[in-house]
Amino acid sequence: MVTIREAQEADDPRIVEVGNAVFPEYPGTLDDLRHERARLRAGGYATAMTVAFLVRRGFRETMRTWENRLELRRFDPSAFLRYLDRARDAGVVITTLAEERARDPETLRRVHALHTAVARDIPSPIPYTPLPFEQFLHLVVESPTSLPDGHFLARVGEDYAGESTLVRSATDAYVYHGATGVLPATRGRGIAMALKVSAALYARAQGYPELRTWNEENNQAILVINERLGFARQPAWLTLERHIAPATRVDGARDHV
């Protein structure tokens, strides 16, 4: 007999164990689970699974995100070096967070401002909430998964125009490709492609077999770039939501659920 009940915090170790058995390619830790739960609760969100189950109960799809994978052994850099030349000819310097911090120890504030502007433009069903500078340092710069040499920045003069980040995974079988974005005022110069090529070259030089990323289906500009680079599309990850109306108690007062 199967009993279904709400999970308790005491179940967390077993939840991690089951999750890692179901998705062995994306191993998680107890700290990961608890950090993500705290983040969701702080934003007023809960999680659930099985699409048909949710649709029958009034949920609707709000985002479809495709996982894309680039097999780096088959990636031919020579076909894409012209994008780096094009960016350089347009006055764009492709650098890294490590190089910029060595050049200017105070640069993190400006990188934070760039990251905020780039992240705001990424399609999402949830309104974007900027990371305070201290959280940016914790999550992007000082995290054990951070790769300062793989955090690429595009600089025009002394101004940052775009970024493309790589993040360590729990295994050496692949590296994550985080956000890639370019400020509106400097688009059309091939900066996004130059950043993506730089990230792929770095990952390949570091010996990673595969580069993985996720893209929302309406983010056509990045999807086209990924297709040109040779990324192969994987099954989609779906986000669904349901708006729950306030409940009315017998005494006429209203509860929010």
> What mean pLDDT, rounded, does the chain reach?
87
Q: Could you tell me the two tokens for 236? A: 């989609």
How far is residue 186's CA from residue 40's CA, in Å, rounded to a whole number?
34
| φ, ψ (nearest 5 deg) of residue 4 | -110, 125
- The three-class DSSP label of residue 147 is strand
- CA dist 206 and 208 (Å) reads 6
Using pLDDT thresholds of 50, 70 and 90, give the confidence band for residue 256.
very low
Q: What's the pLDDT score for residue 36? A: 78
Q: What is the Cα–Cα distance from 245 to 84, expressed in whole angstroms?
A: 52
Per-residue tokens: 105: 């120890």
- The better pLDDT of the pair 32, 231 is held by 231
Instruction: Say whether pLDDT at 122 is over 70.
Output: yes
Domains of the chain with CATH codes? 9-66+240-255 (no CATH), 68-237 (3.40.630.30)
Lowest mean pLDDT across 120-129, 138-147, 184-193, 202-211? 120-129
Confidence of residue 85 (pLDDT cuts 50, 70, 90): very high
- What pLDDT shows up at residue 234? 87
Q: What is the pLDDT of residue 41?
A: 74
Report pLDDT for 257. 36
Global pTM reads: 0.73
pLDDT computed for residue 112 by the predictor: 96
The pLDDT, as a whole number, for residue 49 is 57
pLDDT of residue 251 exceeding 60, the answer is: no
Mean pLDDT of 128-143: 88
Q: What is the 3-state secondary structure (H, E, C) of 180-211?
A: EEECHHHCCCCHHHHHHHHHHHHHHHCCCCEE
The pLDDT of residue 46 is 62
pLDDT digits 0-9 by tens, 179-236? 899 999 998 889 999 999 999 999 999 999 999 998 888 788 888 999 999 999 988 8
